[in-house]
Structure formats: C-alpha cells, structure tokens
Amino acid sequence: MEKKWKILEPDMGEVTRISRRLKCSPVMATVLANRNVVSPEDTIAFFDSSFQRVSSPFCVKDIEIAADRICSAIKNREKILIFGDYDVDGVTATVILYKFFIEA
C-alpha cells in the first residue's frame, strides 16, 4: 500500500505576518499557520503549557471503565500490556506508563 502525503500549503501572506510578528523563522510560522494559530491570543494559548489548559482525562469516552479495569488488574497482580507507537510522543507515553506500573 502506497502512502499519499497531503502537504498543507498555508497562505504565504499569513506566514510572513506570523513570522514578522513573532520574530520566528518562516518554517515555524508555516507550522503555526497550518494549525490556524494566527492571532497573538492563539499563539499564547498554543504555547501555554500550564496545567490549567490541559483537558480533563474524563472527557475521553469510557475512561472510567478503562481506569476501573486497570485498577482491577493491579489489585489482582495481572500482567498489563502497554502498546505505544514509536514516534517521540508514543515512546515517551509508553515509558511513563511503564514507570508508573512498576511503582504501582
């Protein structure tokens, strides 16, 4: 199966405006434009890493069911398979879960 990449092509005028306003490279401005981060307020929100901006995990469908099952597995000393993809965030999430379960 051949993969087809869809490369977004933002408005170059917008990229230039973002680049000038933020004093950042055109590459960074392109990434921001592709994510529709165009206003100063959008930019602040995009780069804000405070916990107040993190969504509640309880927004995920059936999270209570999953949490109960994991708690049950820990109590019963069952094996738990952690499956993660192998990009940066996948490996990072897998390691965090692994370390958590080792301590549990």
Q: What is the pLDDT of residues 43-77, one digit of tens each?
A: 888 888 888 878 898 999 999 999 999 999 999 99
Residue 78: the pLDDT is: 94
pLDDT, position 3? 83
DSSP codes joined into one string, 62-104: THHHHHHHHHHHHHTT--------SSHHHHHHHHHHHHHHHH-
Can you say whether the dihedral through the CA atoms of 90, 93, 95, 101 is positive or negative?
Answer: negative
Q: What is the pLDDT of residue 8?
A: 86
Task: Tell whether the torsion through CA atoms of 48, 54, 60 and 63 is positive or negative.
Answer: positive
- C-alpha gyration radius of the chain: 20
pTM of the predicted structure, to 2 decimals: 0.54
Q: Is the pLDDT of residue 104 over 80?
A: no
Cα–Cα distance for residue pair 10/13, rounded to 1 Å? 9
> What pLDDT was estimated at residue 55?
85
pLDDT of residue 14: 93
